[in-house]
Amino acid sequence: MFSHERQFRESFQNFGDESPKKNNFNFKTVNPTPNGVRAKIEIWFHSLLLKRKLVASIGIAFLASITLFIQTIITEFNVIKPLTSLELIFSNLFTFSFWFILAIQTTIIFGLLFAMSHLVMSVSAPDTLRMDDGISVIFCVSLVVGECLNVFLTFLNAYDYESKQDDGENLASARFTYHIFALIFVCTNFVFSTNFRYCFADDDIPFQNVILSILMPSTKSIYTYKYQDALKSFKRATLLWLFYHIIVDFWSIKYLFTTGILIYIALVIYRIHLVYNFAVEVINLIVMQPYKFEMPSIYNITEPSEKQSRHIVNIFNCSDLMMKFFALYDIRFIAEKDYKRRCEIFQLSIPGNYPRNWNSIRNICLEIINSVNMAISNANDIIHTTKMRDAAHLYGDPSSRFRQTMELRDLKNVSDLRLRPRTSIRGERFFDSNDSRVYENIHDGKLNRLNKITDSVKNFVIPPVKFILPADGILAMYAIESIALIISQSVEEDEFGSVQSDIIFVVREMLKFYESLKKYSTYKHILPSKYNTDDDEIVKNLQTALQHSIVKILSPFMNLIENFSADEQEIIEQLF
């Protein structure tokens, strides 16, 4: 498990109806999901995802076999002896070994793709993988080794038996070293520059249309996707190969001009770049196809069947992070587009006549909002502590660097300040307090640069702590949009008035979250370097979603604004 995924799961470990955070809410909690039921649901859901990953990996491996077929044919082609090489190619097409080797190569790619979909790709993956992560390094090495095997198997058909034995061995050696360098660069670049995060597609375009749009040649198709990276790998591999053969075997450089080795290497790099980037897109599309879960029954069923127990609340109560994503995405879909299931949210339970489904959906959304808000509040507490500490240094400690820096800035405005040393009438050199302070600050500047270098090394060894992970932001966005859409739709669809009594409480929780984000975004630059504050886009998206959601909720219920405090009303006026 990735370190970032472990950190995120710990923050959401207590999610569900049995969460101790429920005590902060002023409404009735729903019954927790039994452990036995959750275990069965997780097994069912994991098997569903496993089938999707297998289907995606098999389909992409089949398409990759076509590129391997083309690569093998081009590798066998000899520009010096075109007719002979064409005859050899056609003769190999009717041999068992040719297709057997192609099947082995396809199987290798299938194994690499399935490992990538199952071990590397996740909903909590960072923007790019870190080189100090064990799984990332293992996958990168596996990718290099697997593609080396594919190159070796391609060489079995590409060997020129009519050439001289010495020249054939030298050519094979030159090709092999060139391929090794190229594979190292292209595989490393792919693994550590690709975003392996699972995410739902924002549009409603059918799956087959998306695949066709990717495969059809265009300026935005997969054929031109990040082509600069492939070109960069080709340049680096070529330069390293030239440097290697200048030292080891200078005369092997002639193969650049007498053979098609440059074309072979360019083809290998482009094939790997094309296949695996295409695989990431297609695997994400297939695995993250939304699933429509059942809503909990309004009747009190003592012994529900397995199908009845797979409702959306039990899905969310499971510990698997992927299941929470699917549940929240489906809740947002219900709130926006599914009228039938949305009406089930507003129905009253039998017996009891209380809105059990609404309470469950509300609890799910508010728990996520409050959990992320708690992380932001912790960041604001650290910001407050840092500000107080800096103030104590500034005004209480005369020798503090902060105080000396401010005094130096004031002295720079004095016209008669000179940084050169002064001398007496006798030519004796002397220093005053201002001179010593200047030199101390120069020394402090060197220390600051050294500290920055030390912090960079430390951050590479120990990753900085993030208060808002990308998964935090996505889940919070789903929760904010879902509860706002449900409340706005309740104006016409909630015939029992189940939602209206909770509007004030929901808006207050959103206002708290909005203020926490505003304070965090304003003062987060004060945080020490051990905290990663590169989350401007996430914070901005959350603030925008909160603003639109609060306006959407209160627009039909303007008469409720007077129930808020003066400070809350001021914030609401700013949002409108």
Q: pLDDT category, 456, cuts 50, 70, 90?
A: low
> How confident is the model over 473-477, as a mean pLDDT?
94
Greatest mean pLDDT among 123-127, 382-386, 430-434:
123-127
Rounded to a whole number, what is the distance in angstroms from the first to the last CA of the chain? 44
More confident residue, 181 or 422: 181
Q: What is the mean pLDDT of the chain?
A: 79
* 173 and 57 within one domain: yes
Q: What confidence score (pLDDT) does residue 23 get?
A: 36
Residue 417 C-beta-side C-alpha neighbours within 13 Å: 14
More confident residue, 375 or 429: 375
**Two tokens, residue 573:** 């006026």
* 230 and 369 within one domain: no
Q: pLDDT category, 386, cuts 50, 70, 90?
A: confident
pLDDT at 281 over 50: yes
Domain span at 81: 39-287
Q: Please, what's the b/e burial string for 139-149 (b: 16 or more CB within 10 A of its CB; e: otherwise)?
A: bbebbbebbbe
Q: What confidence score (pLDDT) does residue 406 get?
A: 47
Q: What confidence score (pLDDT) does residue 575 get?
A: 87
> How confident is the model over 539-543, as a mean pLDDT?
93
* 334 and 221 within one domain: no
pLDDT at 139 over 90: yes
Residues 6+ apart with CB under 8 A from 530: 458, 459, 462, 464, 465
The answer as to whether 2 is a domain residue is no
Task: Classify residue 564 by its DSSP letter.
Answer: S
> How confident is the model over 354-371, as a mean pLDDT?
92
Tokens 């089930």 correspond to 344
More confident residue, 27 or 433: 433
The answer as to whether 477 is a domain residue is yes
Question: E-assigned strands of 525-565?
Answer: 531-532
pTM for the predicted model, two decimal places: 0.79
The answer as to whether 303 is a domain residue is no
- Say if CB 465 and CB 378 are below 8 A apart: no
Q: Name the phi and psi angles at 533, rounded to 5.
A: -110, 25
Q: pLDDT category, 354, cuts 50, 70, 90?
A: confident
* 318 and 273 within one domain: no
β-strands 422-423, 429-430 pairing = antiparallel
The answer as to whether 414 is a domain residue is no
Q: Among residues 229, 253, 287, which one ends one of the domains?
A: 287
Q: pLDDT category, 440, cuts 50, 70, 90?
A: low
* 73 and 215 within one domain: yes
What is the tally of structural domains in the chain?
2
Q: pLDDT category, 25, cuts 50, 70, 90?
A: very low
pLDDT at 16 over 50: no
pLDDT at 321 over 50: yes
In the chain, % of residues over pLDDT 90: 35
Q: Please, what's the b/e burial string for 444-478 (b: 16 or more CB within 10 A of its CB; e: otherwise)?
A: eeeeeeeeeeeeeeeeeeebbebbbbbbbbbbbbb
More confident residue, 34 or 115: 115
pLDDT at 389 over 60: yes
Q: What confidence score (pLDDT) does residue 506 get?
A: 94
Given 3-state DSSP classes, what are the helix, strand and coil percentages for the chain, each rounded to the nearest 5? 75, 0, 25
Q: pLDDT category, 251, cuts 50, 70, 90?
A: confident
Q: Among residues 255, 287, 319, which one ends one of the domains?
A: 287
The answer as to whether 389 is a domain residue is no
- Say if CB 506 and CB 366 are below 8 A apart: yes
Greatest mean pLDDT among 93-97, 115-119, 417-421:
115-119
Q: Among residues 287, 321, 338, which one ends one of the domains?
A: 287
* 213 and 353 within one domain: no
Greatest mean pLDDT among 14-18, 106-110, 556-560:
106-110
Greatest mean pLDDT among 282-286, 294-298, 567-571:
282-286
* 478 and 348 within one domain: yes
pLDDT in tens, 199-242: 998 767 776 777 777 777 766 667 777 778 888 998 998 899 88
Which range has the worst mean pLDDT, 10-24, 65-79, 98-112, 350-364?
Answer: 10-24
The answer as to whether 413 is a domain residue is no
pLDDT at 124 over 70: yes
Give the separation between CA 186 and CA 272, rounded to whole angstroms.
Answer: 7
* 225 and 96 within one domain: yes
* 226 and 356 within one domain: no
Give the separation between CA 116 and CA 125, rounded to whole angstroms.
Answer: 12
More confident residue, 193 or 222: 193
Q: What confidence score (pLDDT) does residue 219 get?
A: 66
Q: What confidence score (pLDDT) does residue 460 get?
A: 55
pLDDT at 26 over 80: no
pLDDT in tens, 392-416: 555 555 554 444 444 444 444 444 4
pLDDT in tens, 31-90: 577 788 889 999 999 999 999 999 999 999 999 999 888 877 777 776 667 777 777 778
* 323 and 234 within one domain: no
* 348 and 227 within one domain: no
* 185 and 141 within one domain: yes
> How confident is the model over 499-511, as a mean pLDDT?
92
